Chain A
Amino acid sequence: MLKVSGVHTFYGAIEALKGVDIEIGAGEIVSLIGANGAGKSTLLMTICGSPRARMGRITFEGQDITQMPTYELVRLGIAQSPEGRRIFPRMSVLENLQMGSITAKPGSFANELERVLTLFPRLKERISQRAGTMSGGEQQMLAIGRALMSQPRLLLLDEPSLGLAPLVVKQIFQAVKDINREQKMTVFMVEQNAFHALKLAHRGYVMVNGKVTMSGTGAELLANEEVRSAYLEGGH
């Protein structure tokens, strides 16, 4: 479904991605783990064309999207809940969700809204609150909910569990699992919480310093000694 081949991305003179190859099949949950600054967020943003890959190729369902304008990707079915949530602070929760559905089919808004609010009942209680005044966890739910509003086929999640209480983390991962199973949505997820991420995922990649160094099924990576010592030390 998504194929990233030989992608290099630069911030000025800094090379953040140094030839990344990744492939994601339809219906999969794929997790990407790696240390801070490894280039995980850069990879997700490069898939969306911002920043743009300087070398290499990205295809989505066979179509070359390497040079496609960012705003068109969501029409193809790619949605992202980016690093730092980036909700619109001076809009209400409802308006944020409406922003998520600008490319959705007309008439589907009410259904999609219903679905997202069932997934995150917390958002329903807060529907007219200014998003910037919500708690971090609520903002995270909003960011994911907003990405879901476009009914994407590929959902990109950047650290969905960041800053959340263990119980909420569990809910979010459960939600990802449900969406994947019930709606056949493909999920590509960046996570610090390597244990949960690999347990949930069908497959995983490990990124070090702008390069993919390891890949395998979630179970394989969880069992791998290197992965355990680098990312799972101290338990989960």
Chain B
Amino acid sequence: MEYFLQQLINGLSLGAIYGLIAIGYTMVYGIIGMINFAHGEIYMIGAFVALITFLAIGSLGITWVPLALLVMLVASMLFTAVYGWTVERIAYRPLRSSPRLAPLISAIGMSIFLQNYVQILQGARSKPLQPILPGNLTLMDGAVSVSYVRLATIIITIALMYGFTQLITRTSLGRAQRACEQDKKMASLLGVNVDRVISLTFVMGAALAAVAGMMVLLIYGVIDFYIGFLAGVKAFTAAVLGGIGSLPGAMLGGVVIGLIEAFWSGYMGSEWKDVATFTILVLVLIFRPTGLLGRPEIEKV
């Protein structure tokens, strides 16, 4: 029972991270119908910005942990958002009316470029970070211990997802985004600057990925220029599993994959965990081709 709870919490925090990254995939897919292959790298950059910010504010003598974490979070989200914006400008916008293969290739190129760019600037070796938020919360007389970082990850993710859902469902920006997903030409006839909305979508996705990057940095205490690849693949899988284009789907898909990984590693050993994840993905897609929460098309248009 204790062991189960322990894996549950590990799985939830991992799933929160995948979910945060998956939102970027699913929103960009929703609005331009393409997979942003550079999104994993955006997450990796988020982790690096957080690390660099920590070192920078450390040298400024700021040592109060809550403040340090807040500055890291804000800096990481801001800088990473700029990268997200730039990726759209360079790799997608000029190719908006080209055949679909063209932006796909430019995005893969962008992904390779960003990896190399970080490798050159930061080196190929992995970068460690001292534990900033050490300590555990122990439950059930010490049988279950949850690190504060994982707990914080889960709480921050829930808060962000809540805020984000409100933004998409209740604000005029969210409405404009959904309108662009459904009919860009009509949206522009009504006064929506579609290019701006697409830019903002990349910016939001990047900012959420940055949070995921920072959380991974804090949980594992080590990052390298290559972490974007596997995390990107997993989060993309989460988006497809949940139903690509669906926001709640991305969150659910992330959590499901996080849980599968944690329980598989916990009970079967970590060797085959990726195989388990992808097997579940294939099974779900066989029985529900639109993913767990993907919408079947029923409207008459």
Interface residues of chain A, those whose CB is within 8 Å of chain B, are 48, 50, 69-75, 79-80, 82, 86, 88-91, 95, 98-100, 102-103, 130, 132-133, 136, 146, 150
Contact = CB atoms under 8 A, between A and B. Distances in A.
Interface stretch (B148-156, B157-165, B185-193, B219-227): B185-193
Contact of A146 (B182, B190, B298): B190
B141 interface: no
A75 B179 contact: no
A70 B180 CA distance: 14
Which 4 pairs between the two chains have the least Cβ-Cβ distance?
Answer: A132-B299, A89-B299, A74-B191, A103-B191
A99 B299 contact: no
Nearest to A103: B191
Contacts of B193: 69, 71
A88 B300 contact: no
6 contacts: A71-B188, A71-B191, A71-B194, A79-B189, A86-B186, A89-B300
A90 B192 contact: no
B299 A130 contact: yes
Given A71-B191, A73-B189, A103-B191, 4 more contacts: A71-B194, A132-B298, A132-B300, A133-B300
Contact of B299 (A71, A86, A90, A150): A90
B179 to A, nearest CB: 5
A94 B5 CA distance: 44
A75 to B, nearest CB: 6
Interface stretch (B43-51, B75-83, B170-178, B208-216): B170-178
B190 A100 contact: yes
A70 B188 contact: yes
Contacts of B192: 71, 99, 102
B191 A98 contact: no
B233 to A, nearest CB: 29
A71 B172 CA distance: 15
A67 to B, nearest CB: 15
A164 B84 CA distance: 46
A178 to B, nearest CB: 23
Contacts of A50: 185, 188-189
Nearest to A88: B182
A150 B191 contact: yes
A222 to B, nearest CB: 31
A71, A90, A133 — most chain B CB neighbours (10 Å): A71
Contacts of A73: 189
A55 B301 CA distance: 33
B183 A88 contact: yes
Nearest to B295: A90
A150 B186 contact: no
A99 B175 contact: yes
A226 B300 CA distance: 38
A102 B176 CA distance: 9
A89 B182 contact: yes
